[in-house]
Chain A
């Protein structure tokens, strides 16, 4: 029977049989109409991408203050826009490997200090200019020179010099880094003509789509770039990105068919939405995590026992259940999970232990005055509720927590990375080195736990230069243990990205890097006819 059905469904895909006819024949074989229809959908997907149409996306995180300047992109809508009109040298593929884009091939010296990127030929910018290695170097300069205002400045600091040699773009690092391609895959680093020095916000790149309408905080319309160099992406004729910041507005737009893809479906409505007709909810676990961070150099958090008491006093399973509604996994007080390459899954999971927490709390000699935890709704979705759960479970261990609720407005400048104990989130990084270098190295700008540990720093530097993965994994495991036991990070949970996709969207794949397929859903998906 299966062969027979498969034969029929192939015929429908090829246009040799109508859908109605197919359902009728399937019924004759004892298959219900619902099953028959879903078989057809699968067959259509297997038949490959469908060209044409307009993919509409409703995305949270678009403001009227947004610019098309890649250096200033900080929220989801600008990032999606960058992916539509631009290309990086390399991308991080869904499986965590490096995918060459504008770089055709990559070579590293044995000490991982000198890197050679061969730049693809025959690529054109939207203004007709051909891509040259000079454009690449100028782009990197704009994001790393001393006047840079780029959000990528932090990750560009290890670069000692850059040069162009024929078709190649060469980077020399001051300290070895085996993960350099992962750093250059950062979404800010879209290659622009002359590096974007003349007109950073022109929206001209080499990407699969060209910007047509740019209304910041409202909508962005893109048209297919007919000269795009890679046929495997860019199926729709147009992509429309709508800034829908209100959760209900986003959900309603998907349900009423006005958009095909939305991001950030609230976990508490995810299951309900999945039951709605013509809509599927997709979730993918990634490196993003929600945290409570303590400054290791500020009283009372400079006391290792107090930090341990708080780590033991948080109920991680409860948080995953109640805050994430199961769309996530428990954290283990270091910022790495199975989404990262070289993750050591043998490190034991820390669990809630009120008795042991009370013991550490007693040993810390804390005077029993309330410990103030600063939190805002915007710290992460459900942050205030999570803090309340934390307060309850700490109470049971005899640790008095006081929640101080702060406004969302100004939270990232006044509270985070300023106050000694607050809620925050990290969206994660493609590799362990980058995550640790960004936030846990003594000298990191975003060392938001004020973690200064010489042994940890030395291990991190040795891992950077280590090209043997077995040894690197071992080093990372040691670092994870140090951070887990001594750091100021309380990491109760890793959150899944939950997204809503209309059932006529084809080509959806799970990508753990950034939300909505590493922000590339528009250029990679298609609409089934």
Chain B
């Protein structure tokens, strides 16, 4: 078997095991939080009677182990169950939210990844001169400001003062692609500003590291133009660390953007998960947890495979 296929098979098997472990942890964690779903639904309107009735209706009187295994049994058969709080089919509501999250992450990645790598290359080209310092300064500033703050500043200027884009990023199926893009324009800007610095700095560092090598010096002595050296000789050899950091940031764009979702009222997975954690709706929290874990595991796998493919020594082992 080809070593890469073997690696993928191993990783997928390990991933399944990790997902199982994650589901146990999430279940245990949500169970030990104070209060249960019945109490959270009724809130200040709870009386002993309606609490008891709701608990019986939701099956909360079964022991936790029974509930966990009946959930696991369902998942094995591809049934994520229904939400305890509003009785909706989880797969269906989650599907909508997940596609929204991926929509936002896709556009943010489409802009931020090429931009970050380009700025990284540019910074190497003009190392220690003003463009390098400007790029580093600006991106480090935007990553250091909390993302909700960047969001508020952009809303104030772009949406309220100039009226260019919408401040509420609620999207739905009846909107055209143009309307959707208008709605998510400011969140995409915020996310881009937040993830730019990490990828840009890593690109810069990885390429500078390679630039110390003797073969770069040779290329320089041959009289090759600087940008061409970077593109043809330095970048391919620096690709492994860059891909790793890009994947971490892509994972962040999928699973870590709850603050941005709240600021722009974006109907993504983060807000959906937080609402259900607050209500102790365990089946939904489990389902979201599994998806988030799968995203991390999957993107890490991609990063590893790309690193191997980029390295001839790993690609053709003896």
Quick one: closest A residue to B158, CB to CB?
A256
A147-B53, A149-B53, A413-B40 known; A64 vs B163 contact (CB < 8 Å): no
Residues of B contacting A459 with CB < 8 Å? none
Determine whether the beta carbon of B267 is less than 8 Å from that of A217.
Answer: yes
A252 and B156 within 8 A (CB):
yes
Cross-chain pairs A/B with CB under 8 angstroms, 21 sampled: A63-B279, A65-B83, A66-B86, A67-B85, A72-B41, A74-B43, A146-B53, A149-B50, A149-B57, A154-B47, A215-B172, A216-B93, A217-B271, A242-B168, A244-B168, A248-B263, A252-B152, A253-B168, A410-B33, A410-B34, A412-B39
Among B45, B47, B168, point to the contact of A58 (Cβ < 8 A): B168
A243 part of interface (Cβ distance < 8 Å)? yes
Known contacts A64-B271, A412-B43, A413-B39; is-contact A216 B86 (Cβ 8 Å)? yes
**Interface size of A by Cβ–Cβ distance < 8 Å?**
47
Whether the Cβ atoms of B275 and A64 lie closer than 8 Å is: yes
> B263 to A246, Cβ gap below 8 A?
yes
Query: Which residues of A lie under 8 Å from residue B54 when comparing CB positions?
Result: 149
- Besides A63-B279, A65-B41, 19 more A-B contacts (Cβ < 8 Å) are A58-B168, A64-B97, A64-B275, A67-B85, A147-B53, A148-B49, A153-B50, A218-B172, A219-B172, A242-B168, A246-B263, A248-B155, A249-B263, A252-B168, A412-B39, A412-B43, A414-B34, A416-B44, A445-B47
- Decide if B168 touches A74 in the complex (CB within 8 Å): no
Say whether A213 faces chain B, with CB atoms less than 8 Å apart: yes
Q: How far is the CA of A72 from the CA of B34 in the complex (A)?
A: 21
Indicate if B159 sits at the interface (CB-CB under 8 A).
yes
Q: Which of B44, B53, B163 has the most CB of A within 10 A?
A: B44
> Is A255 among interface residues, defined by CB-CB distance under 8 A?
yes
Chain B residues with CB below 8 A from A245, complex form:
262, 265
The answer to whether A96 has its CB under 8 Å from any CB of chain B is no
| Complex partner residue of A409 from B44, B160, B276, B278, CB under 8 angstroms | B278
Whether A63 lies near B172 (C-beta < 8 A) is no
B27 at the interface (CB under 8 A from A): no
A410 with B83: CB separation less than 8 A: no
Residues in A132-151 with C-beta less than 8 Å from chain B: 146-151
Contact string against A for B residues 46-76, beta-carbon threshold 8 Å, 1 for contact and 0 otherwise: 1111100110010000000000000000000
Interface readout for A222-263 with B: 1 if CB under 8 Å, 0 if not?
A: 000000000000000000001111101100110111110000
Contact of B267 among A72, A154, A218, A412 (CB under 8 A): A218
Knowing A153-B47, A252-B155, A416-B44 touch, does A65 contact B279 (C-beta < 8 A)? yes
9 shortest A-B CB distances, which residue pairs? A413-B35, A151-B45, A67-B86, A65-B85, A445-B47, A218-B267, A413-B39, A410-B34, A63-B275
B residues 189-233 with Cβ under 8 Å of A? none
Asked, given contacts A218-B170, A256-B166, A445-B48, whether A151 binds B42 with beta carbons under 8 Å apart, the answer is yes
A65 and B281 within 8 A (CB)? yes
CB neighbors of A among B132-177 (8 A): 152, 155-156, 159-160, 163, 166-168, 170, 172
A446 at the interface (CB under 8 A from B): yes
Contact mask for chain A residues 62-91; partner B; CB cutoff 8 A; 1 contact, 0 none: 011111010010100000000000000000
B235 sits at the interface (CB 8 A): no
Quick one: given A64-B93, A153-B47, are A249 and B265 in contact (CB under 8 Å)?
yes
Chain B at the A interface: SS class: helix
**B residues within 8 A CB of A149?**
42, 50, 53-54, 57
**B231: shortest Cβ distance to chain A, in Å?**
43
A458, CB-defined interface residue at 8 Å: no
User: A74, B42: Cβ atoms under 8 Å?
Assistant: yes
Task: Say yes or no: A219 contacts B43, CB within 8 Å.
Answer: no
Q: Which residue of B lies closest to A242 (CB)?
A: B170
Which of chain B's residues have a CB closer than 8 A to the CB of A47?
none
Chain B: CB-nearest residue to A416: B44
B296 near A: Cβ within 8 Å?
no
Contacting pair A213 B272 (CB below 8 A): no
Complex: A256 Cα to B168 Cα, angstroms: 9
Residue numbers in B under 8 Å from A217 (CB-CB): 267, 271-272, 275
Known: A58-B168, A74-B43, A154-B45. A409 touches B267 (CB 8 A): no
Q: Is residue B178 contacting chain A, with contact meaning CB distance below 8 A?
A: no
Expressed in whole angstroms, the Cα–Cα distance for A445 and B278 within the complex equals 24
Determine if A256 and B163 form an interchain contact, defined as CB atoms under 8 angstroms apart.
Answer: yes
- Asked if B264 lies at the interface with its beta carbon under 8 angstroms from chain A, I say yes
Rounded to whole angstroms, the CA-CA distance of A149 and B50 in the bound complex is 4
- Chain A residues 311-336 with CB under 8 Å of chain B are none
**Other-chain residue from A152, A216, A258, A409 in contact with B168 (beta carbon distance below 8 A):** A258
Q: Are B41 and A74 in contact (CB under 8 A)?
A: yes
In the bound complex, what is the Cα–Cα distance between A258 and B160 (angstroms)? 10
Inter-chain contact A252/B159, CB cutoff 8 Å: yes
Please name the residue on chain B nearest to A424 by beta carbon: B44
Question: Residues of A contacting B44 with CB < 8 Å?
Answer: 74, 412, 416, 446
CA distance A280 to B146 in the complex (A): 31
- Taking each of A218, A257, A445, A446, which has the highest tally of chain B beta carbons within 10 Å of its own beta carbon? A218
Judge whether B278 and A414 touch: CB under 8 Å. Answer: no
Q: In whole angstroms, how far apart are the Cα atoms of A66 and B57 in the complex?
A: 17
Question: Would A258 and B49 count as touching, CB distance under 8 A?
Answer: no
Interface assignment of A201: CB less than 8 Å from any CB of chain B:
yes
Contacts of B166 in A (CB 8 A): 256, 258
- The 8 Å CB contact of B265, one of A72, A244, A413, is A244
**Given that A151-B42, A256-B160, A412-B43 are contacting pairs, would A65 and B275 also be in contact in the complex, using a CB cutoff of 8 Å?**
yes
Bound together, the chains give a CA A213 to CA B281 distance in angstroms of 23
B residues less than 8 Å from A215 (CB atoms): 96, 172, 267
Quote the shortest CB–CB distance from A185 to chain B (angstroms): 16
Q: Answer yes or no: B87 CB below 8 A from chain A CBs.
A: yes
A63 close to B278 (CB less than 8 A): yes
Give Cα A218 to B264, complex, Å: 11
| B86 partner residues in chain A, CB cutoff 8 A | 65-67, 69, 72, 201, 216
Is the CB–CB distance between B87 and A64 below 8 Å?
Answer: no
Which chain A residues (172-229) contact chain B, with CB distance < 8 Å?
201, 213, 215-219
User: Using Cβ atoms and an 8 Å threshold, which residues of chain B touch A148?
Assistant: 49-50, 53
A201–B87 CB distance below 8 A: yes
Please report the C-alpha to C-alpha distance between residue A513 and residue B47 in the assembled complex, in whole angstroms. 23
Q: Report Cα–Cα, A255/B156, bound state, in Å.
A: 10
Q: How far does the alpha carbon of A218 sit from the alpha carbon of B46 in the complex, in Å?
A: 25
